[in-house]
Amino acid sequence: MRKYFAEFIGTFALVFCGTGAIVINDVTGGTVTHVGVAITFGLIVTAMIYAFGKISGAHINPAVSIAFAVTDRFNEKQVAPYIIAQVGGAIFASVILAFLFQEHEGLGATLPAGDWHQTFILEIILTYFLMVVILFVSQNKAVTEFTGLAVGFVVLLEAMFAGPITGASMNPARSIAPAIVSGNLTHLWMYIVAPIIGALLASGTWFLLREED
């Protein structure tokens, strides 16, 4: 239960701070800025990895948990409880944001700015890069202590350049929560399927390039 509670808190923090930055940026007329939103996502991911990495691995992302289960580094029996904890934490965060900012309709939901296939492909590639970094940095004992920084910087980087087009979700829980609480389920399927595909492709790359024990 310690692992599941850690995943609940970690994903809660990610959605509360990340989508909260989007909401506050909207209601204050852009004071946070797009750059500020990207930095917020990167910093909260970094912080949660250092806070809960030794307890649960700090997946805070259903796509990451599914991809890890394909490797030999995570018990597949824990995938469902992890996902339940992650989505539960994310929804709780969106519920609180909805209570605090009742005038905001979207709650930071991810929506494509252009054609759906453009967002779908971008989300696959973005999540692929994120999962590749997670797998290879956390495998190398010499750089494990920098895992939080490496992963956080990737999230920041991808949110910085792709956020205006796709919302740079890379995380089904991050997209499911504001979509459900706000009632806007438009294109939600993309933000569930694309990150999972991207993360699984990264697991395939890990099998090809991993260091042998």
Per-residue pLDDT reduced to its tens digit, 130-155: 999 999 887 665 556 788 999 999 99
CA distance 125 to 111: 17
Dihedral through CA 116, CA 173, CA 128, CA 184, nearest 10? Answer: 10
pLDDT of residue 141: 58
CA distance 6 to 117: 34
pLDDT of residue 212: 63
Low-confidence ranges of the chain (pLDDT < 70): 139-144, 212-213
pLDDT of residue 74: 85
- CATH code of the domain occupying 2-209: 1.20.1080.10
Cα Rg of the chain, angstroms: 16
For the chain, helix (H) and strand (E) counts, in that order, are 8, 0
Buried b (16+ CB within 10 A) or exposed e, 189-205: ebbbebbbbbbbbbbee
CA distance 127 to 197: 8
Provide the residue ranges of all domains of the chain, joining segments of one domain with +: 2-209
From the list 131, 123, 150, the residue with the least C-alpha distance to 200 is 131
Contacts of 191 (CB under 8 A, 6+ apart): 110, 123, 167, 169, 172, 175, 176, 179
- Quote the distance between the C-alpha of residue 132 and its chain's center: 14
